[in-house]
Chain A
Amino acid sequence: MALQSLDIKARSATTTPSPDVRAAGAIPVAKLIDISKCIGCKACQAACMEWNDLRDTIGENVGVYDNPADLSAESWTVMRFSEVEVEQGRLEWLIRKDGCMHCANPGCLKACPSPGAIVQYSNGIVDFHEENCIGCGYCITGCPFNIPRLSKKDNKAYKCTLCSDRVAVGLEPACVKTCPTGAIVFGSKVDMIHHAEGRITDLKERGFQNAGLYDPQGVGGTHVMYVLQHADQPQLYAGLPNDPSISPMVAIWKGITKPLMNFGLGMAVLAGLFHFVTQGPNEAKEEEEEKQ
Protein backbone atom coordinates (compact mmCIF):
# COMPACT_ATOMS: atom_id res chain seq x y z
CA MET A 1 0.00 0.00 0.00
CA ALA A 2 0.87 3.61 -0.32
CA LEU A 3 3.69 4.81 1.83
CA GLN A 4 2.87 7.66 4.13
CA SER A 5 5.43 9.88 2.49
CA LEU A 6 3.69 9.30 -0.84
CA ASP A 7 0.25 10.81 -0.58
CA ILE A 8 -2.31 9.97 -3.21
CA LYS A 9 -3.59 12.51 -5.69
CA ALA A 10 -5.72 10.22 -7.82
CA ARG A 11 -6.94 6.65 -7.51
CA SER A 12 -8.41 4.47 -10.26
CA ALA A 13 -12.18 3.81 -10.34
CA THR A 14 -12.76 6.06 -7.36
CA THR A 15 -15.32 8.85 -7.48
CA THR A 16 -14.64 10.38 -4.08
CA PRO A 17 -11.53 12.38 -3.07
CA SER A 18 -8.31 10.51 -2.37
CA PRO A 19 -6.46 11.06 0.92
CA ASP A 20 -4.22 14.00 0.12
CA VAL A 21 -4.25 16.19 3.22
CA ARG A 22 -0.45 16.30 3.35
CA ALA A 23 -0.16 16.94 -0.37
CA ALA A 24 0.86 20.57 0.12
CA GLY A 25 4.34 19.41 1.02
CA ALA A 26 4.73 17.14 -1.99
CA ILE A 27 7.17 18.33 -4.61
CA PRO A 28 6.49 17.06 -8.15
CA VAL A 29 9.43 14.89 -9.10
CA ALA A 30 10.83 14.01 -12.49
CA LYS A 31 13.37 11.74 -14.09
CA LEU A 32 15.25 13.36 -16.93
CA ILE A 33 16.78 11.11 -19.57
CA ASP A 34 19.34 12.88 -21.72
CA ILE A 35 19.46 10.77 -24.87
CA SER A 36 22.53 12.63 -26.13
CA LYS A 37 24.49 11.28 -23.16
CA CYS A 38 23.29 7.68 -23.32
CA ILE A 39 25.85 5.11 -24.41
CA GLY A 40 23.43 2.16 -24.43
CA CYS A 41 25.23 0.17 -21.73
CA LYS A 42 21.94 -1.13 -20.26
CA ALA A 43 23.17 -0.62 -16.70
CA CYS A 44 19.76 0.97 -16.03
CA GLN A 45 18.04 -2.24 -17.16
CA ALA A 46 20.27 -4.30 -14.87
CA ALA A 47 19.71 -1.95 -11.94
CA CYS A 48 15.95 -2.09 -12.50
CA MET A 49 16.06 -5.90 -12.43
CA GLU A 50 18.20 -5.85 -9.29
CA TRP A 51 16.16 -3.41 -7.28
CA ASN A 52 12.77 -4.76 -8.29
CA ASP A 53 13.76 -8.45 -8.14
CA LEU A 54 12.81 -9.03 -11.75
CA ARG A 55 14.27 -11.83 -13.87
CA ASP A 56 12.85 -11.97 -17.36
CA THR A 57 13.20 -15.16 -19.38
CA ILE A 58 16.28 -15.10 -21.56
CA GLY A 59 15.25 -14.23 -25.09
CA GLU A 60 16.77 -14.77 -28.49
CA ASN A 61 19.14 -12.57 -30.38
CA VAL A 62 17.34 -11.22 -33.41
CA GLY A 63 20.30 -9.31 -34.76
CA VAL A 64 19.72 -5.98 -33.04
CA TYR A 65 21.02 -4.50 -29.83
CA ASP A 66 17.57 -4.27 -28.22
CA ASN A 67 17.63 -6.86 -25.46
CA PRO A 68 15.09 -7.82 -24.32
CA ALA A 69 13.26 -7.00 -27.53
CA ASP A 70 10.32 -5.40 -25.77
CA LEU A 71 8.96 -4.36 -22.41
CA SER A 72 7.36 -7.17 -20.43
CA ALA A 73 5.92 -7.80 -17.00
CA GLU A 74 9.51 -8.61 -15.93
CA SER A 75 11.28 -5.91 -17.94
CA TRP A 76 10.04 -2.50 -16.92
CA THR A 77 12.59 -0.58 -18.92
CA VAL A 78 14.38 -1.38 -22.20
CA MET A 79 16.84 0.49 -24.34
CA ARG A 80 15.56 1.02 -27.86
CA PHE A 81 18.23 1.50 -30.49
CA SER A 82 17.46 3.47 -33.66
CA GLU A 83 19.89 4.08 -36.51
CA VAL A 84 18.85 7.24 -38.34
CA GLU A 85 20.24 9.66 -40.88
CA VAL A 86 18.66 13.00 -40.11
CA GLU A 87 21.25 14.55 -42.36
CA GLN A 88 22.14 12.53 -45.44
CA GLY A 89 25.35 10.59 -44.86
CA ARG A 90 25.55 11.30 -41.15
CA LEU A 91 24.55 8.24 -39.18
CA GLU A 92 23.20 8.79 -35.72
CA TRP A 93 22.57 6.09 -33.18
CA LEU A 94 19.68 7.20 -31.01
CA ILE A 95 19.26 5.14 -27.87
CA ARG A 96 16.10 5.71 -25.91
CA LYS A 97 15.45 4.21 -22.52
CA ASP A 98 11.79 3.23 -22.83
CA GLY A 99 9.45 2.78 -19.89
CA CYS A 100 6.57 4.43 -18.11
CA MET A 101 6.44 8.21 -18.65
CA HIS A 102 4.40 8.85 -15.47
CA CYS A 103 1.90 11.15 -17.19
CA ALA A 104 0.30 13.95 -15.21
CA ASN A 105 -2.93 12.84 -16.89
CA PRO A 106 -2.48 9.06 -16.92
CA GLY A 107 -4.56 7.12 -19.46
CA CYS A 108 -3.99 3.86 -17.57
CA LEU A 109 -5.51 5.28 -14.42
CA LYS A 110 -8.44 6.70 -16.36
CA ALA A 111 -9.15 3.34 -17.99
CA CYS A 112 -8.69 1.12 -14.92
CA PRO A 113 -12.00 -0.27 -13.56
CA SER A 114 -10.62 -1.58 -10.27
CA PRO A 115 -10.60 0.84 -7.32
CA GLY A 116 -7.06 1.58 -6.19
CA ALA A 117 -5.27 -0.71 -8.64
CA ILE A 118 -3.59 2.38 -10.12
CA VAL A 119 -2.71 5.40 -8.02
CA GLN A 120 -1.05 8.70 -8.72
CA TYR A 121 0.97 10.06 -5.84
CA SER A 122 1.08 13.74 -5.01
CA ASN A 123 4.66 13.84 -6.29
CA GLY A 124 3.44 12.72 -9.70
CA ILE A 125 4.49 9.06 -9.71
CA VAL A 126 1.89 6.74 -11.25
CA ASP A 127 2.02 3.36 -9.54
CA PHE A 128 0.25 0.04 -10.07
CA HIS A 129 -0.93 -1.74 -6.93
CA GLU A 130 -1.05 -5.25 -8.28
CA GLU A 131 -2.95 -6.65 -5.30
CA ASN A 132 -5.98 -4.70 -6.59
CA CYS A 133 -5.37 -5.50 -10.26
CA ILE A 134 -8.05 -7.74 -11.82
CA GLY A 135 -6.12 -8.43 -15.03
CA CYS A 136 -8.58 -6.87 -17.50
CA GLY A 137 -5.89 -5.08 -19.53
CA TYR A 138 -7.84 -1.80 -19.73
CA CYS A 139 -4.66 0.07 -18.72
CA ILE A 140 -3.13 -1.17 -21.97
CA THR A 141 -5.93 0.48 -23.97
CA GLY A 142 -5.60 3.65 -21.92
CA CYS A 143 -1.84 4.16 -22.21
CA PRO A 144 -0.70 6.43 -25.06
CA PHE A 145 2.86 5.05 -24.83
CA ASN A 146 2.17 1.28 -24.94
CA ILE A 147 3.81 0.60 -21.57
CA PRO A 148 1.78 -1.67 -19.26
CA ARG A 149 2.21 -5.43 -19.71
CA LEU A 150 0.05 -8.23 -18.34
CA SER A 151 2.09 -10.94 -16.68
CA LYS A 152 1.66 -14.40 -18.16
CA LYS A 153 2.31 -15.80 -14.68
CA ASP A 154 -0.32 -14.01 -12.63
CA ASN A 155 -2.38 -11.95 -15.13
CA LYS A 156 -1.58 -8.71 -13.30
CA ALA A 157 -0.35 -5.58 -15.06
CA TYR A 158 3.16 -4.34 -14.38
CA LYS A 159 5.28 -1.35 -15.34
CA CYS A 160 7.98 1.00 -14.03
CA THR A 161 7.15 2.35 -10.56
CA LEU A 162 9.72 5.14 -10.84
CA CYS A 163 11.08 3.27 -7.79
CA SER A 164 8.31 4.77 -5.68
CA ASP A 165 9.63 2.76 -2.74
CA ARG A 166 13.07 4.37 -3.08
CA VAL A 167 11.74 7.86 -3.76
CA ALA A 168 9.53 7.60 -0.68
CA VAL A 169 12.62 7.35 1.52
CA GLY A 170 14.58 10.03 -0.27
CA LEU A 171 16.56 7.91 -2.71
CA GLU A 172 16.70 8.32 -6.46
CA PRO A 173 15.37 5.54 -8.73
CA ALA A 174 17.71 2.57 -9.25
CA CYS A 175 18.33 3.40 -12.92
CA VAL A 176 19.39 6.93 -12.00
CA LYS A 177 21.68 5.65 -9.28
CA THR A 178 23.51 3.35 -11.65
CA CYS A 179 23.77 5.39 -14.87
CA PRO A 180 27.52 5.74 -15.50
CA THR A 181 27.33 8.76 -17.82
CA GLY A 182 24.82 10.82 -15.89
CA ALA A 183 22.35 10.54 -18.76
CA ILE A 184 19.60 9.87 -16.23
CA VAL A 185 19.07 12.40 -13.47
CA PHE A 186 16.33 12.72 -10.90
CA GLY A 187 14.97 15.56 -8.80
CA SER A 188 12.10 18.01 -8.59
CA LYS A 189 10.40 18.58 -11.91
CA VAL A 190 11.31 22.27 -11.82
CA ASP A 191 14.99 21.46 -11.27
CA MET A 192 14.94 18.85 -14.03
CA ILE A 193 13.45 21.32 -16.52
CA HIS A 194 16.15 23.79 -15.52
CA HIS A 195 18.83 21.14 -15.92
CA ALA A 196 17.44 20.22 -19.33
CA GLU A 197 17.60 23.82 -20.47
CA GLY A 198 21.34 23.86 -19.87
CA ARG A 199 21.75 20.63 -21.81
CA ILE A 200 19.63 21.93 -24.68
CA THR A 201 21.71 25.13 -24.93
CA ASP A 202 24.82 22.99 -25.05
CA LEU A 203 23.38 20.72 -27.74
CA LYS A 204 22.30 23.69 -29.83
CA GLU A 205 25.85 25.06 -29.64
CA ARG A 206 27.05 21.70 -30.93
CA GLY A 207 24.82 21.99 -33.99
CA PHE A 208 21.63 20.25 -32.89
CA GLN A 209 19.38 23.18 -33.69
CA ASN A 210 16.21 21.28 -32.91
CA ALA A 211 17.34 19.99 -29.53
CA GLY A 212 14.60 20.23 -26.97
CA LEU A 213 12.76 18.81 -24.00
CA TYR A 214 10.13 16.09 -24.38
CA ASP A 215 7.48 16.83 -21.78
CA PRO A 216 4.31 16.29 -23.87
CA GLN A 217 1.47 18.55 -22.84
CA GLY A 218 -1.17 16.32 -24.47
CA VAL A 219 -0.96 14.14 -21.36
CA GLY A 220 -0.51 17.11 -19.03
CA GLY A 221 3.27 16.79 -19.07
CA THR A 222 5.19 13.76 -17.83
CA HIS A 223 7.31 12.94 -14.80
CA VAL A 224 9.80 11.16 -17.03
CA MET A 225 11.21 13.57 -19.59
CA TYR A 226 13.71 13.26 -22.40
CA VAL A 227 16.29 15.63 -23.76
CA LEU A 228 16.11 14.96 -27.50
CA GLN A 229 18.67 16.07 -30.07
CA HIS A 230 15.81 16.21 -32.58
CA ALA A 231 12.86 17.32 -30.52
CA ASP A 232 11.00 18.27 -33.70
CA GLN A 233 10.96 14.56 -34.70
CA PRO A 234 10.32 12.45 -31.59
CA GLN A 235 9.22 9.53 -33.79
CA LEU A 236 12.89 9.05 -34.78
CA TYR A 237 13.45 7.67 -31.29
CA ALA A 238 11.91 4.22 -31.84
CA GLY A 239 8.49 5.69 -32.49
CA LEU A 240 8.20 8.03 -29.52
CA PRO A 241 4.78 9.63 -30.13
CA ASN A 242 4.82 13.13 -31.57
CA ASP A 243 1.93 14.53 -29.61
CA PRO A 244 0.63 11.80 -27.29
CA SER A 245 -2.75 12.11 -25.65
CA ILE A 246 -5.39 9.76 -24.30
CA SER A 247 -7.22 8.26 -27.30
CA PRO A 248 -10.62 9.89 -27.96
CA MET A 249 -12.12 6.37 -27.83
CA VAL A 250 -10.87 5.93 -24.28
CA ALA A 251 -11.89 9.48 -23.39
CA ILE A 252 -15.47 8.84 -24.56
CA TRP A 253 -15.61 5.38 -23.01
CA LYS A 254 -14.35 6.58 -19.63
CA GLY A 255 -15.86 10.05 -19.90
CA ILE A 256 -19.33 10.93 -21.10
CA THR A 257 -20.65 7.37 -21.56
CA LYS A 258 -20.34 6.54 -17.87
CA PRO A 259 -22.75 9.12 -16.45
CA LEU A 260 -24.91 9.00 -19.57
CA MET A 261 -25.43 5.24 -19.41
CA ASN A 262 -26.13 5.21 -15.69
CA PHE A 263 -28.65 7.98 -16.23
CA GLY A 264 -30.19 6.22 -19.23
CA LEU A 265 -30.60 2.90 -17.43
CA GLY A 266 -31.95 4.58 -14.31
CA MET A 267 -34.43 6.60 -16.35
CA ALA A 268 -35.61 3.48 -18.20
CA VAL A 269 -36.44 1.77 -14.91
CA LEU A 270 -38.21 4.89 -13.59
CA ALA A 271 -40.09 5.34 -16.87
CA GLY A 272 -41.46 1.81 -16.49
CA LEU A 273 -42.49 2.36 -12.90
CA PHE A 274 -44.23 5.66 -13.58
CA HIS A 275 -45.84 4.41 -16.74
CA PHE A 276 -47.41 1.62 -14.72
CA VAL A 277 -48.61 3.79 -11.85
CA THR A 278 -50.10 6.39 -14.18
CA GLN A 279 -51.48 4.23 -17.01
CA GLY A 280 -52.13 0.94 -15.26
CA PRO A 281 -51.79 -2.55 -16.70
CA ASN A 282 -52.50 -3.53 -20.26
CA GLU A 283 -55.25 -6.15 -19.91
CA ALA A 284 -57.28 -8.18 -22.33
CA LYS A 285 -60.81 -6.93 -21.84
CA GLU A 286 -63.30 -8.86 -19.72
CA GLU A 287 -65.96 -9.06 -22.44
CA GLU A 288 -63.48 -10.61 -24.83
CA GLU A 289 -62.65 -13.22 -22.22
CA GLU A 290 -66.30 -14.00 -21.69
CA LYS A 291 -66.83 -14.56 -25.40
CA GLN A 292 -64.44 -17.49 -25.27
Chain B
Amino acid sequence: MSQGKLIERYNASERANHWLVAISFILAALSGLALFHPAFFWLTNLFGSGTWARILHPFIGALMFLLFIVMALRFWKHNRITDADRQWAKHMTEILQNKAKDLPEIGKYNLGQKYLFWALLTTITLMLISGIVIWQPWFAPLFPIPLLRIAVLVHALSAFVAILCLIVHVYASYWTRGSIRAMTRGTVTAAWAKHHHPAWFREVMNKNR
Protein backbone atom coordinates (compact mmCIF):
# COMPACT_ATOMS: atom_id res chain seq x y z
CA MET B 1 0.00 0.00 0.00
CA SER B 2 1.40 3.31 -1.02
CA GLN B 3 1.96 5.68 1.85
CA GLY B 4 0.92 8.75 -0.15
CA LYS B 5 1.27 12.32 0.90
CA LEU B 6 0.36 13.42 4.43
CA ILE B 7 -1.78 16.42 5.21
CA GLU B 8 -1.98 18.15 8.58
CA ARG B 9 -5.50 18.04 10.06
CA TYR B 10 -4.89 19.04 13.68
CA ASN B 11 -1.90 20.87 15.08
CA ALA B 12 -0.24 19.84 18.34
CA SER B 13 -2.18 22.30 20.43
CA GLU B 14 -5.52 21.18 19.01
CA ARG B 15 -4.62 17.56 19.64
CA ALA B 16 -3.62 18.23 23.22
CA ASN B 17 -6.84 20.18 23.73
CA HIS B 18 -8.90 17.31 22.31
CA TRP B 19 -7.28 14.71 24.56
CA LEU B 20 -7.67 16.83 27.65
CA VAL B 21 -11.37 17.10 26.85
CA ALA B 22 -11.47 13.35 26.20
CA ILE B 23 -9.85 12.44 29.52
CA SER B 24 -12.01 14.79 31.55
CA PHE B 25 -15.14 13.68 29.66
CA ILE B 26 -14.45 10.03 30.40
CA LEU B 27 -13.72 10.69 34.07
CA ALA B 28 -16.87 12.81 34.38
CA ALA B 29 -18.92 10.15 32.57
CA LEU B 30 -17.62 7.31 34.75
CA SER B 31 -18.24 9.16 38.01
CA GLY B 32 -21.58 10.45 36.73
CA LEU B 33 -22.82 7.01 35.67
CA ALA B 34 -21.78 5.74 39.09
CA LEU B 35 -24.15 8.19 40.73
CA PHE B 36 -26.87 7.63 38.16
CA HIS B 37 -27.57 3.91 38.39
CA PRO B 38 -26.78 1.39 41.15
CA ALA B 39 -25.42 -0.98 38.48
CA PHE B 40 -22.57 1.49 37.98
CA PHE B 41 -22.00 2.46 41.62
CA TRP B 42 -18.87 0.29 41.73
CA LEU B 43 -17.25 2.84 39.39
CA THR B 44 -16.98 5.15 42.42
CA ASN B 45 -14.10 2.89 43.54
CA LEU B 46 -12.06 4.25 40.64
CA PHE B 47 -12.21 7.61 42.38
CA GLY B 48 -11.49 6.37 45.90
CA SER B 49 -15.02 6.08 47.29
CA GLY B 50 -18.59 7.20 46.74
CA THR B 51 -17.86 10.40 48.59
CA TRP B 52 -14.74 11.09 46.53
CA ALA B 53 -16.62 10.46 43.30
CA ARG B 54 -19.26 12.97 44.47
CA ILE B 55 -16.59 15.53 45.40
CA LEU B 56 -14.53 15.15 42.22
CA HIS B 57 -17.28 14.81 39.63
CA PRO B 58 -18.34 18.47 39.49
CA PHE B 59 -14.75 19.75 39.43
CA ILE B 60 -13.91 17.39 36.57
CA GLY B 61 -17.09 18.43 34.80
CA ALA B 62 -16.39 22.15 35.16
CA LEU B 63 -12.84 21.62 33.88
CA MET B 64 -14.20 19.65 30.93
CA PHE B 65 -16.57 22.50 30.11
CA LEU B 66 -13.74 25.03 30.01
CA LEU B 67 -11.52 22.79 27.89
CA PHE B 68 -14.41 21.97 25.59
CA ILE B 69 -15.29 25.63 25.08
CA VAL B 70 -11.70 26.38 24.03
CA MET B 71 -11.90 23.53 21.53
CA ALA B 72 -15.34 24.55 20.33
CA LEU B 73 -14.16 28.09 19.62
CA ARG B 74 -11.32 26.64 17.51
CA PHE B 75 -13.57 24.34 15.49
CA TRP B 76 -16.63 26.60 15.39
CA LYS B 77 -16.15 27.98 11.89
CA HIS B 78 -15.86 24.52 10.31
CA ASN B 79 -19.15 23.38 11.81
CA ARG B 80 -21.67 25.60 10.08
CA ILE B 81 -24.15 23.41 8.26
CA THR B 82 -24.19 23.90 4.46
CA ASP B 83 -26.32 22.78 1.52
CA ALA B 84 -23.70 20.19 0.60
CA ASP B 85 -24.18 18.70 4.07
CA ARG B 86 -27.92 18.39 3.56
CA GLN B 87 -27.35 16.70 0.20
CA TRP B 88 -24.79 14.40 1.81
CA ALA B 89 -27.31 13.36 4.48
CA LYS B 90 -29.62 11.99 1.76
CA HIS B 91 -26.97 9.35 1.01
CA MET B 92 -26.85 8.21 4.64
CA THR B 93 -27.92 4.60 4.00
CA GLU B 94 -25.33 4.08 1.27
CA ILE B 95 -22.66 5.71 3.38
CA LEU B 96 -23.40 3.34 6.27
CA GLN B 97 -23.21 0.40 3.84
CA ASN B 98 -19.84 1.59 2.49
CA LYS B 99 -21.45 1.86 -0.96
CA ALA B 100 -21.60 5.61 -1.35
CA LYS B 101 -20.67 7.07 -4.73
CA ASP B 102 -20.81 10.59 -6.10
CA LEU B 103 -21.24 12.23 -2.71
CA PRO B 104 -21.48 16.00 -2.52
CA GLU B 105 -18.18 17.69 -1.74
CA ILE B 106 -17.75 17.73 2.02
CA GLY B 107 -15.59 20.28 3.85
CA LYS B 108 -13.52 19.65 6.96
CA TYR B 109 -16.46 17.98 8.67
CA ASN B 110 -19.47 16.04 7.39
CA LEU B 111 -22.97 16.50 8.76
CA GLY B 112 -22.59 13.71 11.30
CA GLN B 113 -19.51 15.38 12.75
CA LYS B 114 -21.26 18.74 12.76
CA TYR B 115 -24.28 17.33 14.57
CA LEU B 116 -21.89 15.80 17.09
CA PHE B 117 -20.29 19.21 17.60
CA TRP B 118 -23.60 20.99 18.18
CA ALA B 119 -25.05 18.19 20.31
CA LEU B 120 -22.00 18.19 22.58
CA LEU B 121 -21.91 21.96 22.79
CA THR B 122 -25.58 21.99 23.80
CA THR B 123 -25.45 19.11 26.28
CA ILE B 124 -22.18 20.15 27.90
CA THR B 125 -23.54 23.66 28.41
CA LEU B 126 -26.77 22.25 29.86
CA MET B 127 -24.74 19.98 32.14
CA LEU B 128 -22.67 22.92 33.36
CA ILE B 129 -25.75 25.00 34.20
CA SER B 130 -27.74 22.15 35.77
CA GLY B 131 -24.59 20.85 37.44
CA ILE B 132 -23.96 24.14 39.21
CA VAL B 133 -27.55 24.12 40.46
CA ILE B 134 -27.12 20.68 42.08
CA TRP B 135 -23.48 21.17 43.19
CA GLN B 136 -23.32 20.26 46.90
CA PRO B 137 -22.38 21.79 49.20
CA TRP B 138 -21.35 24.96 47.35
CA PHE B 139 -24.19 26.11 45.12
CA ALA B 140 -27.20 23.80 45.61
CA PRO B 141 -28.30 25.48 48.88
CA LEU B 142 -28.73 28.74 46.96
CA PHE B 143 -31.50 27.32 44.76
CA PRO B 144 -35.09 26.31 45.53
CA ILE B 145 -35.75 22.58 45.75
CA PRO B 146 -38.18 22.47 42.76
CA LEU B 147 -35.35 23.88 40.61
CA LEU B 148 -32.96 21.19 41.91
CA ARG B 149 -35.47 18.57 40.76
CA ILE B 150 -35.57 20.01 37.24
CA ALA B 151 -31.78 20.31 37.21
CA VAL B 152 -31.13 16.66 38.16
CA LEU B 153 -33.37 15.51 35.34
CA VAL B 154 -31.85 17.91 32.78
CA HIS B 155 -28.39 16.83 33.94
CA ALA B 156 -29.16 13.12 33.53
CA LEU B 157 -30.81 13.52 30.12
CA SER B 158 -28.00 15.76 28.81
CA ALA B 159 -25.43 13.29 30.05
CA PHE B 160 -27.27 10.48 28.28
CA VAL B 161 -27.18 12.35 24.96
CA ALA B 162 -23.53 13.36 25.48
CA ILE B 163 -22.43 9.79 26.26
CA LEU B 164 -24.35 8.52 23.22
CA CYS B 165 -22.46 11.13 21.17
CA LEU B 166 -19.19 9.86 22.61
CA ILE B 167 -20.01 6.25 21.67
CA VAL B 168 -20.92 7.31 18.12
CA HIS B 169 -17.80 9.51 17.89
CA VAL B 170 -15.45 6.76 19.05
CA TYR B 171 -17.02 4.20 16.75
CA ALA B 172 -17.09 6.50 13.72
CA SER B 173 -13.39 7.27 14.12
CA TYR B 174 -12.62 3.56 14.31
CA TRP B 175 -14.92 2.63 11.44
CA THR B 176 -13.55 5.33 9.17
CA ARG B 177 -10.08 3.97 8.69
CA GLY B 178 -7.25 6.46 8.85
CA SER B 179 -9.15 8.93 11.05
CA ILE B 180 -7.59 8.23 14.43
CA ARG B 181 -4.13 9.29 13.30
CA ALA B 182 -5.55 12.77 12.72
CA MET B 183 -5.86 13.14 16.49
CA THR B 184 -2.81 11.10 17.49
CA ARG B 185 -0.22 12.26 14.97
CA GLY B 186 -2.04 15.23 13.47
CA THR B 187 -1.92 14.06 9.88
CA VAL B 188 -4.09 12.13 7.46
CA THR B 189 -3.23 10.66 4.09
CA ALA B 190 -4.11 12.68 1.02
CA ALA B 191 -6.25 9.76 -0.15
CA TRP B 192 -8.22 9.86 3.11
CA ALA B 193 -8.76 13.61 2.82
CA LYS B 194 -9.78 13.40 -0.84
CA HIS B 195 -12.16 10.52 -0.18
CA HIS B 196 -13.87 11.78 2.96
CA HIS B 197 -13.50 15.55 2.85
CA PRO B 198 -12.86 16.56 -0.79
CA ALA B 199 -13.76 20.24 -0.37
CA TRP B 200 -11.40 20.53 2.60
CA PHE B 201 -8.71 18.64 0.63
CA ARG B 202 -8.94 21.13 -2.23
CA GLU B 203 -8.84 24.06 0.16
CA VAL B 204 -5.67 22.74 1.83
CA MET B 205 -4.04 21.98 -1.53
CA ASN B 206 -4.79 25.46 -2.85
CA LYS B 207 -3.39 27.05 0.28
CA ASN B 208 -0.18 25.04 0.06
CA ARG B 209 0.34 25.82 -3.59
Write the residues of chain A forming the contact surface with B, with a CB cutoff of 8 angstroms: 13-15, 113-115, 132-138, 140-141, 146, 150, 152, 155, 247, 249-250, 252-253, 257-258, 261-262, 264-265, 268-269, 272, 275-276, 279-286, 288-292
In the complex, which residues of chain A have a beta carbon less than 8 angstroms from the beta carbon of B148? 137, 140-141
Closest residue of chain B to A281 (Cβ to Cβ) is B177
Q: Choose from B44, B156, B175, B196 the contact partner of A284 (Cβ within 8 Å).
A: B196
CB distance from A157 to the nearest CB of B (A): 10
Asked if A257 contacts B156 (CB within 8 A), the reply is yes
Among candidates B38, B50, B149, residue contacting A249 with C-beta atoms closer than 8 Å: B149
A292 to B191, CA, bound (A): 7
Contact yes or no, B136 A289, CB < 8 A = no
Kindly state whether residue B189 has any CB partner on chain A within 8 Å: yes
Which residues on B sit within 8 Å (CB–CB) of A291? Answer: 191
On whether the beta carbons of A13 and B195 are closer than 8 Å, the reply is no
Q: Are B2 and A290 in contact (CB under 8 A)?
A: yes
In contact, A268 and B167 (Cβ under 8 angstroms): yes
Which residues of the partner chain A approach B37 to less than 8 Å between Cβ atoms?
258, 261-262
- Shortest CB-to-CB span from B111 to chain A, Å, is 15
Establish whether residues A284 and B51, one from each chain, have CB atoms under 8 Å apart when the complex forms.
Answer: no
**Are A279 and B97 neighbours in the complex by a CB distance under 8 Å?**
yes
B89 proximal to A (CB < 8 A): no
Listed by A's residue number, 5 A-B pairs whose Cβ atoms lie within 8 Å are A134-B35, A141-B149, A252-B153, A253-B156, A292-B194
Question: Which B residues lie within 8 Å of A285 (CB)?
Answer: 191, 195
Q: A13-B38, A283-B177, A283-B178 are in contact. Are A135 and B54 (CB under 8 A)?
A: yes
A286 pairs with B1, CB closer than 8 A = yes
Residues of B within 8 A of A13 (CB): 38, 41
Q: Which residues of B contact A146 (CB under 8 A)?
A: 145
Query: Is the pair B157, A257 in contact by a Cβ cutoff of 8 Å?
Result: yes
A284 in contact with B178 (CB, 8 Å): yes
Which of A14, A137, A262 has its CB near the most chain B CB atoms (within 10 A)?
A137
| B76 interface contact, C-beta 8 A | no
Q: Give the one of B36, B141, B191, B196 with max A CB within 10 A.
A: B191
Bound: A283/B1 CA distance, A: 13
Secondary structure of the B side of the interface? helix
Q: Which of A250, A264, A282, A286 contacts B176 (CB 8 A)?
A: A282
9 tightest A-B contacts by CB?
A272-B171, A284-B195, A289-B191, A134-B50, A249-B149, A137-B136, A13-B38, A292-B4, A268-B167
Contact partner of A279 among B98, B152, B153, CB < 8 A? B98
Chain B 142-157 per-residue mask, 1 if CB under 8 angstroms from chain A, else 0: 0001101110110011
Min CB gap A198→B, angstroms: 36
Among B35, B164, B174, point to the contact of A265 (Cβ < 8 A): B164
Residue of B nearest to A14 (CB): B38
Contact between A15 and B191, CB atoms less than 8 A apart: no
Is there contact, CB below 8 Å, between B150 and A134?
no
Q: In whole angstroms, what is the CA distance A146 to B134 when docked?
A: 16
Partner of A137, one of B96, B140, B190: B140
Indicate which residue in A258, A283, A290 contacts B36 across the interface (CB closer than 8 Å).
A258
- Asked whether B41 lies within 8 Å of A113 as measured between CB atoms, the reply is yes
A155 to B51, CA, bound (A): 9
With A114-B41, A134-B50, A280-B98 as known contacts, state yes or no: A141 contacts B164, CB within 8 Å: no
| Shortest Cβ gap from B54 to chain A (Å) | 4
A113 to B5, CA, bound (A): 53
A275-B175 contact in complex given A249-B150, A284-B191, C-beta closer than 8 Å: yes
Name the one of B44, B136, B175, B195 contacting A150, with C-beta atoms under 8 angstroms: B136
Complex Cα distance, B98 from A221, in Å, reads 60
Bound state CA distance, A252 and B164, in angstroms?
A: 19
